[in-house]
Amino acid sequence: MSNKKKVIKEKKGFLIIVGFLAVLLIIGVFLGIRLNSLIINYIESNVKLNASELADKFGEQIDADFKEMTAISKYIEKDYGIKDRLVYNSSVSGAYSVMGLIDINGETVAGDDLNRSLYYGVQESLRGYKKVIYSETEGMLFTVPVYSNDNVKYVLYRLYPVSKISDRFGVESYGGQGTAGVVDSNWKLTVPLVGAPDHDLFYEEEFVNTYREIVKSLTVSSSSAKYLKTENGDYYLFGADVDEYDLRVCGYVPKSVVSKGISLITGLVIWVFGIMFLMIVIGSAFINGAEARYIEDDAIKKAKEEADKANRAKSDFLANMSHEIRTPINAIMGMDEMILRDTKEKTTKEYANLIKKSSNALLILINDILDFSKIEAGKMELVESEYSLSDVISDAVNMVELKIKQKNLQFDIDVDNNLPNRLYGDGARIRQVMVNILNNAAKYTTEGSVTLKVSGEMLFKEVKLRISVTDTGIGIKKDDIHKLFSNFERLDLKRNRAIEGTGLGLSLTQKLVGLMRGNIEVQSEYGVGSTFTVNIPQSIAGDEIIGDFYRRLEEHKAVGEEIKKREYYIAPKAKVLAVDDNDMNLVVIKKLLKYTQIRVTTALSGAECLKLIERERFDVILLDHMMPVMDGVETLKKIRSMTDFPCESTPVIALTANAIVGSREKYLEAGFDDYMSKPVNGQKLEELLLKYIPSKKVTFVTEEELKSQNNKPAEADSEASNVEQAESVKDTTPIKPQNEVKGEAPKAEQSKESTSKEKAGAKRALIDKDVALKYCGGIEELYKQIIAVYIETYDERVDKLKKDLEAEDFEDYRVQVHSLKSTSLNIGATALSEHAKNVEMALKDGNTAFAKDNHDSILKEYEEVLEEIKKL
Amino acid sequence: MNKFTQGIIFVSLIMFLMVSIVAVVIFFGRTDVDYSKVAFVLNGDSSDSGWNRSLCNGIDEYSESTDISVLTEYNVTEESGHVDDVCEDLIKRDAGVIFLTSYGFTSECKSLIEANPGVAFYGTSSDVKADNYTSYFVRYYQARYLAGILAGMHSKSGKIGYVAAKKNPQVVRGIDAFTLGVRNVNENATVYVKWTDSWSNPNAEREAARKLIEDVGVDLLTYHQNQPNVIDTAEEYGIDSIGYHEAFKGYSDHYLTSVVCNWGALYKELLGEDGAVGTAKDMCWLGLEREVVGLSEYSPAVSNNEMLFIEAAKARILSGKDVFTGLIKDNTGVVRSKEGESITDEELMNDVDWFVEGVEIYVK
């Protein structure tokens, strides 16, 4: 990651954290405000309760007065005479008040006349109510009805003059720290405020407004309190109904008095929130740090990925290289086999034998490298099945026996008779391990013996195979033992310079053993010899024991001869569809299957394939992977998504030039039924098809029958006759086409080549036959075929190219050009191929103008090439 | 910023937001009720002349003279179970005060009133006792008394008809107050009462009026019904009538006046100018002293003399001597109030079931 990017990312992270904190802060402020209001609510409800209590207390005082008056009224009801004494005895509850009696006409029966402003109270009592009213000038008037039966006859009143009200009814709140009074329904103070205010706040506008709110609340509640913030301090205002009487206790109390202690809660919450804030800051910092580490880890991971990629590239390279090398080796070996078979000259045979030996060594090496690349890529998988242990040992012995004996070493074999013979596992890999350590022993031993000892430890259904190879070779220095299994490492170079090898053998062996859950031990004494012991657990698949191994070895040699024979079959009713964008490949497949008489239909593209399978039933579809426009995998997907067509159950086999490890799995995973690597080997193709072609369509034949069968159709097909005759079915050399080259073929090729060179003269640049032959595995016959196809397809291709250009169908144009590129290269028309490639590339980039500009020139060149090739 | 950190921060933010939203929902619920949103629930609408139209007029008057925003729910039928839903809906619409204008609504809403202690309810029934419920009543009887004085003076035959729905304290004290007024100016006059057994039954009302006119020979009719059907009949016969609830238009001069309640003034009295409540009490019984009840505009047929008598009676009441004071005998001769006595509100509100001297129940 670049620093700049990192900085930006860090900045972004920082911003997010800052944003987060900002949100937190806002929430904090928000909650703070809310908390404050909750506290205010809480205090309000406390003040409210207090106001209720004050109102109750005041109510009780009033009740006490009314009780007294009601008692007096009862006396009056019983004996109206009492009224005369009443007036003079008005100091019943202290000398503060005057009492009197008024009749329903408003006449004063006893006591002083009342001021008219107080008459409202009298009227209420006439209706049967106890009433307290207030007049600013007269004071507080208590009235109670005096009954005659159910009707009111008089009203008894008691008047407290203004000056006396406070003393008697003053409402003390909060121990004198609050200010409280009593108001009537018009919010006039009935009982003056009691308290210690510096100046009377009660009638200040803010207060009045707040009291209005309180009055509203009193509609639904008997008491209420409100918080008020003023310039002169914060107050809680309160009001409470006095039951039964149309009066209210109201007042105010400074905030400091009621919120003592409670304000600490705010502090506490702020503190807690602060800590939370801090924790989040620290947490964010930590996360940031973790992120930084994560980024570092990321970098490491990326570096590792890159290294892995490089390693993969290396493995790929190895795999590709080995694949590339194998092809010529196969050619060499095939040729050599020819020479060995045909020549009678002794020295030639000797040379040929040497070539064979070297080739084999090279092939093994290449295979090792391939295996190694597989293991490196983690793509090596064990192919487990039931196998015969004796066969595996026999194979290994056979493979190394000669080498050991050639070195005049003694080869001792000691196989435990009681070992189970039927085992389950990857026998081929076990054999490979065995061969590797035997080879290793043979390599480093100049005199003495090599001893192979196979024993085992039985554990229920498993046997722990113990394969040990002891040699009397040069041994290994103690310091070097740990280097033994490292890749490409060779020990004691000075001394071992003469010894062949890549240094890969033991490393590979160890990896294979590890893969099979086994281990490998080395005991060695420098200059005396070494013992390599391999322990591999294998499952036991049967009761059979090995018994006498030597007898088994003999038997195995005999069987091996038989196995080499191959099965021949014809299947004239079988139909195979081969799909490849390169018609050369299609020709090869057709030719390879000629002897089986299988009917091969070909398609040059995925689209064509889809069209064909919709209409026609095939037994097998061979589908190339690398095709332009729609590749094999894509085509397969389309095939699998199709329904109700004749090829619904037809197996599809992938053909690919990818020889890399894991290809098989990849293709099977993609939905292919099987997989085959190119170049296609005739025998393998036949074997593969045998698996998928319905058995009723297959007729097994002997070698002779096959020959005679094929001679007939061969006559019709003069072009291929040469090939058919050349088919040497006995030969099992891997690359079949080489078999076709027989006897004088190389000579003919040479002569032809020389003549073509002469003829071509100045136009030689058009076709490079060397290149062409290279692509045809040096087989002149194949080359001829390819040329024939090339000529055949000319008209069609030119036609298509022209049409595509006209219709501006550059997608198809590109396909055609792509095909032209490959086929031209196959016939050695390198310049044309290059030209076509350029056009293809341009089209890939969407550069249609280039294609248009080159259309004529490419057609012209194509024509020239065609003319040239016809001469051949 | 890698995805891990982004994820953590994102999740944290989301969680925090959720927590704060929950906090807001929990702590920031509706606290203050908006008392300046006053709702009225009626069992009819303004097309319903008489009772409901008078309410509608009062509501209009109140809402026009204040800044109060008024919500109304018309045509809510009593005992239909709808009033609960209607009130709940009003509360959802933030009504702070709800007037249940029909007597039966209150008891139907009892649990709703208790469940919404922040909402102030007003109703014309004292069936519910709650801090947030205020029952209000109108001293219609005072206006009935004034109407009685007019009737007593206006009637030539001294036979006055009174079509009434049902015998309950409200109706009885209306009849009594009316008769006291009549008797106050005409000691020999008789008030003939005919029951219809229904608050609203045009046919029965007309039939009752017709009977009183034809059979009894009354020359002035009044009534205690929801609609002014009695006036229609009086007009047909060309006799005098006094209405109820509303000042009606389009009648002849024989339609003298109506006993009315000034609902607009009542609402203002109860709620104040801004929806605050001035006189929150368990019970409000408002009358002449607050100018809540009275007689509507007189017909030209009402003489100055009659008006003077009415004003004098009004003044007497306002001076503290209410209708039911002094010597009152019932029509069986029992003295209900002696000279110098006054009948209590308690009796008038709940117990009065007797008719004063001068009332005759016409049962044919």
In the prediction, which pLDDT does B23 show? 63
Is the model more confident about B206 or about A337?
Answer: B206
pLDDT in tens, A136-157: 788 888 899 988 888 888 888 8
Is the model more confident about A320 or about A530?
Answer: A530
Are residues B117 and B174 located together in one domain of the fold? no
Residue A651, beta-bridge partner list? none
Judge: B33–A153 Cβ closer than 8 Å, yes or no: no
Is the model more confident about A685 or about A661?
Answer: A685
What is the pLDDT averaged over residues A513-524? 86
What's the DSSP call for residue A736? T
Task: Identify whether B304 is part of a domain.
Answer: yes
Task: Identify whether B207 is part of a domain.
Answer: yes
Chain B residues inside the 8 Å CB shell of A34: 23, 27-28
Give the count of domains, chain B.
2
Are residues B157 and B78 located together in one domain of the fold? no
What's the DSSP call for residue B330? B
Task: Identify whether B41 is part of a domain.
Answer: yes
B residues 40..99 contacting A (CB < 8 A): 97
Task: Identify whether B6 is part of a domain.
Answer: no
In the prediction, which pLDDT does A663 show? 61
Separation of alpha carbons A365 and B124, rounded Å? 112
Task: Identify whether B194 is part of a domain.
Answer: yes
**DSSP codes, A124-169:** HHHTT--EEEEETTTEEEEEEEEEETTEEEEEEEEEE-HHHHHHHH
Which residue, B271, B299, B324, sits at the end of a domain? Answer: B271
Q: How many CB atoms lie within 10 A of CB B257?
A: 26
Judge: B344–A215 Cβ closer than 8 Å, yes or no: no
In the prediction, which pLDDT does A500 show? 53
Judge: B120–A185 Cβ closer than 8 Å, yes or no: no
CA A578, A789, A592, A826 torsion: positive or negative? Answer: negative
**DSSP codes, A197-260:** -SS--TTSHHHHHHHHHHHHHHTT-SEEEEEEEETTEEEEEEEEEETTTTEEEEEEEEHHHHST
CA distance B204 to chain A (A): 37
Residue A616, pLDDT above cutoff 90: no
Are residues B120 and B192 located together in one domain of the fold? no
In the sheet that holds A131-135, the strands lie side by side as A108-110, A98-103, A151-160, A139-148, A131-135
pLDDT in tens, A102-120: 888 888 887 777 887 788 8
Task: Identify whether B29 is part of a domain.
Answer: no
Nearest to B35 among A105, A151, A216 (CB): A216
Is B160 near chain A, with CB under 8 Å? no
Tokens at A149, concatenated: 């039966």
Judge: B28–A104 Cβ closer than 8 Å, yes or no: no
Tell me how far the alpha carbon of residue A170 is from its chain's centroid.
Answer: 82
Residue A715, pLDDT above cutoff 50: no
Query: H or E element: which one contains A193?
Result: strand A189-194
pLDDT tens for chain B, 364 residues long, are 456 666 776 777 677 667 766 665 565 544 556 777 888 998 887 777 888 888 888 888 888 888 788 888 888 887 777 888 889 888 888 888 899 988 888 888 888 988 888 888 898 887 888 888 888 889 999 999 999 999 999 999 999 999 999 898 889 999 999 999 999 999 999 999 999 998 889 999 999 999 999 999 999 999 999 889 999 999 999 999 999 998 998 999 999 999 999 998 888 888 877 665 554 455 678 888 888 899 999 999 999 999 999 999 999 998 888 899 999 999 999 999 988 889 998 888 888 999 999 999 998 7
Among A220, A223, A226, A281, the residue to mutate for chain B (most B Cβ within 10 A): A220
Chain A residues inside the 8 Å CB shell of B321: 104-106
Query: Tokens 């709808």 correspond to what residue?
Result: B82
A571-605 b/e (C-beta count within 10 Å ≥ 16 → b): beebbbbbbbbbbbbbbbbbbbbbbbbbbbbbbbb
pTM of the predicted model as reported, rounded to 2 decimal places: 0.51
Q: How many helices (H) does chain B have, and how many strands (E)?
A: 12, 15
Give the amino acid at A497: R
Residue A624, beta-bridge partner list? A655
CB pairs under 8 A between A and B: 126
B residues 111..150 contacting A (CB < 8 A): 117-120, 131-132, 134
What is the pLDDT averaged over residues A447-464? 87
pLDDT in tens, A182-191: 887 777 777 7
Nearest to B2 among A17, A213, A294 (CB): A294
Are residues B144 and B122 located together in one domain of the fold? no
pLDDT in tens, A625-655: 877 778 888 899 888 888 878 788 889 998 8
Q: How confident is the model at residue A306 (pLDDT cuts 50, 70, 90)?
A: confident
Do residues A383 and A376 make contact, with C-beta atoms less than 8 angstroms apart? Answer: no
Separation of alpha carbons A502 and A486, rounded Å? 12
Tell me how far the alpha carbon of residue A66 is from its chain's centroid.
Answer: 88
In the prediction, which pLDDT does A735 show? 37
Q: How confident is the model at residue A724 (pLDDT cuts 50, 70, 90)?
A: very low
What's the DSSP call for residue A545? B
Are residues B171 and B318 located together in one domain of the fold? yes
Q: List C-alpha distances in Å: A785 to A657, A754, A773, B141.
A: 21, 19, 12, 130
Which residue, B240, B271, B302, sits at the end of a domain? Answer: B271
In the prediction, which pLDDT does B212 show? 95
Which residue, B271, B299, B320, sits at the end of a domain? Answer: B271
In the prediction, which pLDDT does A678 show? 62
Separation of alpha carbons B137 and A124, rounded Å? 16
Judge: A220–B276 Cβ closer than 8 Å, yes or no: no
Tell me how far the alpha carbon of residue A19 is from its chain's centroid.
Answer: 31
Are residues B219 and B342 located together in one domain of the fold? yes
Residue A552, pLDDT above cutoff 50: yes
ipTM of the assembly?
A: 0.81
Start-to-end C-alpha separation, chain A:
60
Is the model more confident about A209 or about A500?
Answer: A209
What is the pLDDT averaged over residues A523-537? 87
Is the model more confident about B295 or about A825?
Answer: B295
Nearest to B276 among A17, A212, A298 (CB): A212
Residue A207, pLDDT above cutoff 60: yes
Mean pLDDT over the full length of chain A: 76
Task: Identify whether B276 is part of a domain.
Answer: no
Are residues B202 and B344 located together in one domain of the fold? yes
**DSSP codes, A659-722:** -STTHHHHHHHHT-SEEEESSPPHHHHHHHHHHHS-GGG-EEE-HHHHHHHHHHHHHH-HHHHH
Q: How many CB atoms lie within 10 A of CB A342?
A: 13
Nearest to A106 among B120, B276, B320 (CB): B320
* Nearest Cα residue in chain A from B270: A219
Judge: B340–A31 Cβ closer than 8 Å, yes or no: no
In the prediction, which pLDDT does B209 show? 95
Are residues B203 and B108 located together in one domain of the fold? no
Are residues B175 and B319 located together in one domain of the fold? yes
Judge: B117–A30 Cβ closer than 8 Å, yes or no: no
- Indicate which CATH number applies to the domain containing B188: 3.40.50.2300
Tokens at A470, concatenated: 């002891």
A642 Cβ neighbours under 8 A, 6+ residues apart: A610, A613, A614, A648
Separation of alpha carbons A155 and A70, rounded Å? 11
Tokens at B104, concatenated: 């039966």
Are residues B179 and B64 located together in one domain of the fold? no
Is B256 near chain A, with CB under 8 Å? no
Among A41, A127, A297, the residue to mutate for chain B (most B Cβ within 10 A): A127
Judge: B5–A288 Cβ closer than 8 Å, yes or no: yes
What 3-state DSSP class applies to A445? coil
For A701: left if phi > 0, alpha if psi spans -120 to 50, otherwise beta; the answer is: beta
Query: H or E element: which one contains A77?
Result: helix A3-78
Residue A537, pLDDT above cutoff 60: yes
Do residues A96 and A167 make contact, with C-beta atoms less than 8 angstroms apart? Answer: yes
Provide the percentage of residues in chain A whose pLDDT is more than 90.
2
**DSSP codes, B28-84:** TS--S--TTEEEEE-SS-TTSTTHHHHHHHHHHHHHHHSS-EEEEE--PPTTSSHHH
Is B276 near chain A, with CB under 8 Å? yes
Is B319 near chain A, with CB under 8 Å? yes
Per the structure, the complete domain to which residue B239 belongs is given by: 140-261+290-361
Are residues B321 and B355 located together in one domain of the fold? yes
What is the pLDDT averaged over residues A752-771? 52
Residue A601, pLDDT above cutoff 70: yes
Task: Identify whether B308 is part of a domain.
Answer: yes
Do residues A419 and A381 make contact, with C-beta atoms less than 8 angstroms apart? Answer: no
Tokens at A348, concatenated: 């030639």
pLDDT in tens, A471-496: 888 887 777 777 777 655 555 555 55
Is B20 near chain A, with CB under 8 Å? yes
Are residues B118 and B148 located together in one domain of the fold? no
Maximum Cα–Cα distance across chain A: 174
In the prediction, which pLDDT does B219 show? 94
In the prediction, which pLDDT does A777 show? 55
Separation of alpha carbons A394 and A427, rounded Å? 12
